[in-house]
Amino acid sequence: MATQMQLARQGVITEAMKIVAEQEHVTAEFIREGVANGTIAIPCNINHKNIIPRGVGTGLTVKVNANIGTSSSYPDPEPELAKLQAAIDAGADSVMDLSTGNNISASRQAIIAASTVMVGTVPMYQVTVETIKKRGAVVEMTKEDIFDVIRQQAADGADFMTIHCGINKNVLKALIDEGREMDVVSRGGSFITGWMLHNDAENPLYEYYDEILDICAEYDVTISLGDGLRPGCIADATDRAQIQELLNLGELTQRAWDKGVQVMVEGPGHVPYNQIAANMQLQKRLCHGAPFYVLGPLVTDVAPGYDHITSAIGGTLAAVSGANFLCYVTPAEHLGLPDLNDVREGVIATRIAAHAADLANGNKQAWEWDLKMARARKVLDWPAQLDLAIDPVKAKEYRCRKNKSDDEACSMCGDYCAVKIVGQYLEEHMRKN
């Protein structure tokens, strides 16, 4: 069966392309052309039966991902299904199942079966957990262990998979020679780095990359090229190791496209505000315009409990500068596993960042949304304002708690509402003239 990219190159407009075109208010031919040349990806595994396809890439609205999944401390998958629904209700375009608890396969299968949005995975998490159970240490994993999990997750319906293929011996040399404050903070990156150092061997994900692509092509899995050496603190941003890995990701992007496999490229991480635009532009150049998927970027290290805000600040600039897909960060980042409220707060904060970028990028739908809100505010149409809010639940709760039911203005201005006063005098002026 052909992939979306292979079909697009044959001139075929698939049903998924038509759905994305309708969502984005663009032509189906625009989507087909973007998928064909790699600047748009539609992560849509042939075995994910109830997905509503979404597009990620140039010329489209900025998309938002929510991370969910069990941990060794919280292995029960049921709360993660509730988080899945909370993320979808809050407007997430995708979720990633990052489970590391018991029954990883069962958790993933349940999430994919319940999800109408894209589902991503990180196969190295399951490989690591299973290898430790079987052999006692991640450094004992084999190529077969890795490929068995990748194939299983693809067959289960994972729409995109984060694979840390870009770390090779040259990248590790750059990491060791330059030194870092925080070394490696990516879990998948740390597993691969530890294995390579212990075994003094090349990264099997890099060495056998073509075989991974064959699996992705079979199920039309989009490969999300993971940034295993993303900076985990501001001091490590844009160093040699990060850039050397990015150079590898550019090469791997082209090799995936040669096989008709769709690609997204992942990016940092913790980056000071003044370096974000350059990071995005460098990625786009080195990776040939492939969709860019960023975590944050977080613009400071000192805001635990508020990292959904530090992430949103960086996310807007990233998306204005070329990023196409923002992975949420919740208030629980760096502190613990997010709960339902953290998931909701993270999605909304990241959606605000994405929408702000859509406005700056001139997206017509985004501008129409804001214009509707402005017009509703002008006439003090509270039902319309609340319905138009990016988070209607919180907006309605504030409106009810802070005002009397019959208040025309809000309690902040009360009788001195600027909109109401000027509206009255403008109306009087129009009557006289």
User: pLDDT value at position 302?
Assistant: 98
Choose one of 308, 328, 362: the last residue of a domain: 362
DSSP 139: G
- Those residues whose C-beta lies under 8 Å from the C-beta of residue 432, and which sit 6 or more positions away, are none
DSSP 57-72: ETTSPPEEEEEE---S
Which residue in 305, 178, 171, 185 sits closest to 233, CA to CA?
185
Residues 391 and 351 in one domain: no
Choose one of 362, 390, 423: the last residue of a domain: 362
Structure token pair of residue 281: 């532009």
CB 94 within 8 A of CB 66: yes
Residues 345 and 370 in one domain: no
Residues 370 and 346 in one domain: no
Range(s) of the domain holding residue 371:
365-432
Is 89 within a domain? yes
* Cα gap 301→334, rounded to integer Å: 10
Is 24 within a domain? no
Is 221 within a domain? yes
Q: What is the β-pairing status of strands 56-57 and 40-41?
A: antiparallel
Residues 155 and 99 in one domain: yes
Binding site members for substrate: 67, 96, 125, 164, 186-188, 227-230, 266, 293
DSSP 20-57: HHHHHTS-HHHHHHHHHHTSEE----TT-TT-----EE
Residues 198 and 331 in one domain: yes
Strands (E), 233-298: 263-267, 292-295
Residues 112 and 188 in one domain: yes
Which residue in 325, 378, 329 sits closest to 354, CA to CA?
325
CATH number at residue 122: 3.20.20.540
Binding site members: 67, 96, 125, 164, 186-188, 227-230, 266, 270, 293, 334, 410, 413, 417
Q: 0.85 exceeded by the pTM?
A: yes
Binding site members for Zn(2+): 270, 334
How many domains does the chain fold into?
2
Choose one of 362, 388, 415: the last residue of a domain: 362
Strands (E), 284-369: 292-295, 325-327
Is 355 within a domain? yes
The one-letter amino acid code at 287 reads C
Give the CA angle between residues 213, 218, 219 to the nearest 5°. Answer: 105
Residues 309 and 424 in one domain: no
Which pairs from 12-21 meet CB under 8 Å and 24+ separation? 16/42, 16/44, 16/53, 17/42, 19/52, 19/53, 20/53, 20/54, 20/55, 20/60
Residues 424 and 291 in one domain: no
Is 186 within a domain? yes
User: pLDDT value at position 75?
Assistant: 86
User: pLDDT value at position 79?
Assistant: 92
Q: Of all helices (H) and strands (E), which one includes residue 97? A: strand 94-97
CA 234 to chain centre: 20
Q: What is the CA radius of gyration of the chain?
A: 23
User: pLDDT value at position 237?
Assistant: 97
Strands (E), 196-329: 222-225, 263-267, 292-295, 325-327
* Cα gap 182→420, rounded to integer Å: 54
The one-letter amino acid code at 303 reads A
Which residue in 47, 45, 34, 27 sits closest to 8, CA to CA?
34
- Those residues whose C-beta lies under 8 Å from the C-beta of residue 406, and which sit 6 or more positions away, are none
Q: SS3 of 265, please?
A: strand
Structure token pair of residue 368: 């129409």
* Cα gap 37→288, rounded to integer Å: 9
Is 5 within a domain? no
Residues 401 and 314 in one domain: no
Residues 67 and 125 in one domain: yes
Residues 186 and 71 in one domain: yes
Give the CA angle between residues 376, 87, 107 to the nearest 5°. Answer: 170
Is 1 within a domain? no
Structure token pair of residue 265: 């490229």
CB 283 within 8 A of CB 238: no
Is 36 within a domain? no
Binding site members for [4Fe-4S] cluster: 410, 413, 417
CB 229 within 8 A of CB 190: no
181 C-beta neighbours (distance < 10 Å), count: 12
46 C-beta neighbours (distance < 10 Å), count: 16
Angle, helices 143-156/104-114, rounded to nearest 10 degrees: 30
DSSP 415: G
Residues 183 and 259 in one domain: yes
* Cα gap 40→259, rounded to integer Å: 16
373 C-beta neighbours (distance < 10 Å), count: 16
Q: How many CA atoms lie within 13 A of 131 on its CB side?
A: 22
Strand partners, 263: 223
Residues in the chain with pLDDT values less than 70 = none
